[in-house]
Each structure stands twice: as structure tokens, then as C-alpha cells.
A and B are shown apart, each in its own frame.
Chain A
Amino acid sequence: MSRFKITGLQAFQWFNYAFLSVAAFLCLVPIIHVLALSLSSASAAGAGEVLLWPVEFTLSSYKFVIMKEQFLQGTWVSAQRVVLGTAINCLLTILIAYPLSKSSRSFRSRSVYAWYFVFTMLFGGGLIPHYITVKSTGLIDSIWALVLPTAVPVFNVILLLNFFRSLPKEVEESGLIDGASHFRIMWSIYVPLAMPAIATITLFSLVGHWNSWFDGIIFMNDPHNYPLQSYLQTILIKRDVSFITPEEVKTLIHVSERTSKAAQVFVATLPILLIYPFLQRYFVSGIVLGSVKE
């Protein structure tokens, strides 16, 4: 008899596992649906038969995508901005976080500099002055328009400077006694010790640059210079058909608009799907570091 008795705790555990599984599944459903659509035939997708599994499996959408010039061009621009932008973000974050991690006693202007950067998180000029500034520095239609205005990610600076401050002071002192310069101490001691925090800020910059679309739309007059997300914005949201070339119209007989869009969405999401699970340990500790300070 007692074998069949279910306690309140057991009932809760069952409910809890079921609920959490459903919630996790709901976070995954959209991308599974997109993947299924992208691998289905044009007619099955058009008839709305595809749910979470491909119907009439075909790779023709992917063949279409890897031939699509504008998609490849966008990927190339995005790759450039990610590499350039993340490198500049990380370098500047380290260069700013190191001196700001010193105590006000050893670096007297510390608070002035810190407020100089933090104030930009509290107040901004707004869209129009920002646009006019970027325009008047001559960056329109240049890759630098996607990199320089966001060169200093203040949130990342705060994160890294808090990590630096949690390192023992003796680290710096021993370096100074051995006659190392501050550049040397920063680069050869602090940076290697801060690798978990640097992995975090690198991930944030990388994802930020890969996902940015608005700056591409407003700062690029020539759609040829659009990064991938800006190009996707125009085809997914604005339904702009001017990107389709006459040769591509022929292949569209086998590939519907819906399946080709799904394939492009999936390819654009793939890098993120491949990266973030492996950096989870780092960004979790990074987020905690950014919010809890002693």
C-alpha cells in the first residue's frame, strides 16, 4: 500500500521537473521550428505542414543561401566588424579598467576618470546628435562606423575593474619591486590572472557586434556595406525584395521565400549556438561579478 502513496514533496518534484522541462523546451522551440522549415520543401513549408520536423527533406534552401551574394557579403562585413570591434573593445576595456582599479590614494584622478565614463551610462545625446556626430567624423559607409562609436563598453569596464580589484594588492607590489612598469604589470600579470573576466567581456562584445543591426542600417547608405543582421532586418522585417537578383528568381521555383529565410536565420544564429554553451561558466561568473561588489 505504502508503495503507491505519493507524498506532497514527490508530487512537487514531479511537477517541478515537468514544468522546468517545458520552459526549457519553449526556449528551444523557435529555433527548432526554423531548422525544420529550412530543411523542408517549398510546398510543404508553404502549406504550413512543417512543425518541428522537416517535411520532404531537402537541402535546396541551403544551396540557395550559400550562393546568395548579399548573404555572403553581409557575413563578410559582420566577420570583419566582430574581429575588429571585439579586439578594440577588449583592448580599451583592459586599458581603462587597470588604472581605474587602483585606489584613489595611489591614483588621485581615479574618481574623475571613473565618473567621466560612468556618466555616459546615465545620460546620452540621443539618436539624432549621435547620428550627426558619426556622420561629421566621416564614417558613413565605413566599417569604422560600426566599431568606433561603441569602442568603450562601460559596463564591461566596470566588470573588469571589479575583477582587478579583487586580486591581492601584493601582486602589483611585487611587480613594482622587481622594477616592472605599469604596462608590464598590467599585461604580464593582471591580464593572465583575469582570463575568466576577459572571456566574459569578450563573449559580450562578440555577441553584441554579431547581433547589432541598427547602426548598419543608419550608417550605411550602400546596402552592399550592410552587416549580416542589417541585411536580415531588411529581408525579414521590411520584406525588401530588391536584394533578389534575376538569377535567384529562377532558383526560387524550388526554394520558397519562407524556407530560404529560415535557412538564413538558422545560419546567422549558428555561430552563437556554437559559442555560448562553452563560455557559460565564464559569463555566469562575470554577471555575478558585475552585480555583487564588496
Chain B
Amino acid sequence: MRKKHKINWPFHAMLFPGVLLVFVYCYIPMAGIMIAFQKFNPGKGVFHSPWVGWDNFRFVFAMEDTLQVIYNTVFIAVLKIVVGFVVPILFALLLNEVRKTLFKRTVQTLVYLPHFMSWVILGGILVDILSPSNGLVGKAISFLGLEPVFFLGRNDWFPFVLVLSDVWKEFGFGTIVYLAALTSINPSLYEAAKIDGANRWKQTIHISIPGIVPMIVLVGTLSLGNVLNAGFDQVYNLYSPLVYERGDIIDTLIYRLGLESAQYGVATALGLFKSLVSFVLIATSYFVAYRFANYRIF
């Protein structure tokens, strides 16, 4: 027993700095959720602010915007999950049919690009190209003889602009896992199918797609944890009061309540609501992935 202890001390020493930093910047904020039950006053701090029970939660859910904001969040997030799930699969299957290596590699490199750009940069670019007066898209629409639309200022368009631009940014990166799964399919399966007279379409249906089904199931399951994540970075950099009605999401509301209006208790209460629901969703999705896709986190 003593000997074992002796061997293990370097492990504890290696882990110590990480454990400490995670404790301070992840676990202490978790304890900070008690602000949700306080009338928090920054001058008095967490330990001396008065307790108010469930008042902050009552206030949040009595606000007329809250339910609409939750609806917006789920609407935008679910659309992103569905479209962002399907597009990479189709794109990977199409890319897999390309036999010219140079072409394939070039396309891959180009479609990965948007993933590496921040929403500040892309937000700035989108604001510019979607400008109805002299933006690139406005020009194209005028060229077709139609009336340019102020996409970022219209409640009926805004959620779809979010979904479309998010899918555009991430679909390329999403193909990586499927392309890897496709290349790991045993080539002799295709050979055998060819001998049996299967054409390319039949090969796709009966070999390629079954080959990536485990990955499809895994990615699909894990994405369920994002039902309340509509994408703060993106929305915050694209929205304006004009589109709060359909474009305001939980995270942006928390930001405005907490850091712009200094309603700390109320904002924390809404944040806690989101964290708890997300926790249940993520834990469920991990459990389902563990049971049915044989997924292990570590």
C-alpha cells in the first residue's frame, strides 16, 4: 500500500495546477449560483447580500419576453441542429465520390476555412454584404430585378439568416468525421459489390451509408445537448433591437439583464435555469450515446 502511494505522488503533482485553476474558475462560479436566490449587491458580495428565495425566478418567468425568448432559442437551435446535421453527411458522401485527389483536398481546405473565423469577423462581413443599399447580396437581388431585403432587420428573415450562416460556417468542419469513417471502410467491400454488378448508387446505399451509420448516430445524439444553445457569439454580433422579437435568445437576454442592466440576481436565475436544463439534456445525450453508440468520453 505504501509503495503504491509512493508511485502515485507524481500523478497528483502533475494534476495539481489544473485542479486548482478549474476549482477557482469553474467550481467557485458553480457555487455562485446562489446569487440566483439573492438580491445581489456587488458592494456586499455573495455572503452579505439579502436572500429572496424564489423571487428572481418568479420575476424572470413573469417578464413578458421570457417565454418568447425561450421559444426563439429552441426554434433557432433545433433548426441549426437539424440542418447542420444533414448537410455534412450529404457533403461528405458527395466528396467521397470525387476521385481526383487534388480537387478533393482543395475543396476540403476551402470548406474548413469559415470554421476558423470568429463571429466578430463574420458578423462584420455579413453586416456589410447583407446591407440592402450596397451590399453584395443586395446587389445580386437587384440584379435579378427583385426588391432588396433588409435581412438583418426583419423578424421573419432573421432566424433563417442565423441558421443559414451557421450551417455555412460549420458544415465543412462537420464533414471531417464522416470522411474519416468513409476512408476506413474496407475497399474489398466495394470490389465485391462491383463484381456482383452494383453501380455507384447501389454501392453508396449499401456500403458507404451503412459504413458511416455509427458516426451519424453518435454525432446526432451528442448534438441533442445543444437544444438551448442558439449561439451567443453569432446572435450577439448580428442582432439589433429591430429583431429582438424573433432573434433574442436566452444567452443574449442574460447578458443584457446581468451586465448591461446590473440585475445580477435575475440574470443568474435565468442562467441557472438554462444550465440545469442543458445539464439534463447533455447528460441524457451522453448516456444514450454510451448505451447505443458505445461512446466513452474518456
B254 contacts chain A at the CB level, 8 A cutoff: yes
B128 contacts chain A at the CB level, 8 A cutoff: yes
On whether the beta carbons of B110 and A183 are closer than 8 Å, the reply is no
Q: Could you tell me the distance between the alpha carbons of A12 and B95 in the complex, rounded to whole angstroms?
A: 12
On whether the beta carbons of A214 and B233 are closer than 8 Å, the reply is yes
CB distance from B107 to the nearest CB of A (A): 5
What residues of A have a CB within 8 angstroms of the CB of B107 in the complex? 20-21, 23-24
On whether the beta carbons of B259 and A269 are closer than 8 Å, the reply is no
Q: Could you tell me the distance between the alpha carbons of A123 and B286 in the complex, rounded to whole angstroms?
A: 13
Q: Could you tell me the distance between the alpha carbons of A149 and B29 in the complex, rounded to whole angstroms?
A: 11
On whether the beta carbons of B177 and A126 are closer than 8 Å, the reply is no
User: Which of B154-162, B241-249, B267-275 is found at the contact surface with chain A?
Assistant: B267-275
Which of B98, B120, B274, B286 is most buried by chain A, counting CB atoms within 10 A of its CB?
B120
On whether the beta carbons of B267 and A27 are closer than 8 Å, the reply is no
- Which residue from B10, B24, B110, B126 sits with its C-beta under 8 Å from A137? B24
CB distance from A283 to the nearest CB of B (A): 8
What residues of B have a CB within 8 angstroms of the CB of A26 in the complex? 168
What residues of A have a CB within 8 angstroms of the CB of B134 in the complex? 46-48
User: Which of B30-38, B59-67, B75-83, B185-193 is found at the contact surface with chain A?
Assistant: B30-38
B141 contacts chain A at the CB level, 8 A cutoff: no
Q: A30-B122, A129-B268 are in contact. Are A258 and B128 (CB under 8 A)?
A: yes
Q: Could you tell me the distance between the alpha carbons of A37 and B124 in the complex, rounded to whole angstroms?
A: 13
B283 contacts chain A at the CB level, 8 A cutoff: yes
On whether the beta carbons of A128 and B124 are closer than 8 Å, the reply is no
User: Which residue of A has the minimal Cβ distance to B177?
Assistant: A291
B residues 94-136 touching A (CB-CB < 8 Å): 94-95, 97-98, 103, 106-114, 116-118, 120-129, 133-136
Give the number of chain B interface residues (Cβ < 8 Å). Answer: 96
CB distance from A91 to the nearest CB of B (A): 8
**Contact size class for A?**
35 or more
On whether the beta carbons of B136 and A123 are closer than 8 Å, the reply is no
A167 contacts chain B at the CB level, 8 A cutoff: no
On whether the beta carbons of A232 and B267 are closer than 8 Å, the reply is no
A9 contacts chain B at the CB level, 8 A cutoff: yes
Contact with A along B159-195 (1 / 0, CB 8 A): 0000000001000110011001000000000000000
CB distance from A126 to the nearest CB of B (A): 3
Q: A26-B168, A31-B113, A92-B17 are in contact. Are A236 and B33 (CB under 8 A)?
A: no
What residues of B have a CB within 8 angstroms of the CB of A109 in the complex? 8, 11-12
User: Which residue of A has the minimal Cβ distance to B173?
Assistant: A287
- Which residue from B15, B32, B129, B199 sits with its C-beta under 8 Å from A96? B15
Contact with B along A10-40 (1 / 0, CB 8 A): 0011001101110111111111011001000
Some 24 contacts from A to B, beta carbons below 8 A apart, are A23-B91, A24-B111, A27-B113, A30-B126, A30-B129, A51-B139, A98-B14, A99-B14, A100-B15, A122-B282, A123-B30, A124-B26, A133-B24, A133-B29, A149-B25, A151-B18, A211-B121, A214-B233, A218-B259, A233-B237, A236-B121, A276-B116, A284-B176, A293-B295
Interface pairs A-B: 4 shortest CB-CB? A129-B32, A48-B134, A126-B271, A125-B29
List residues of chain B with CB under 8 Å of any chain A CB: 4, 7-8, 10-12, 14-15, 17-19, 21-22, 24-33, 35, 42, 45-46, 91, 94-95, 97-98, 103, 106-114, 116-118, 120-129, 133-136, 139, 168, 172-173, 176-177, 180, 199-200, 215, 218-219, 232-233, 236-237, 251, 254-255, 258-259, 264, 267-268, 271-272, 274-275, 278-279, 282-283, 286, 295-298
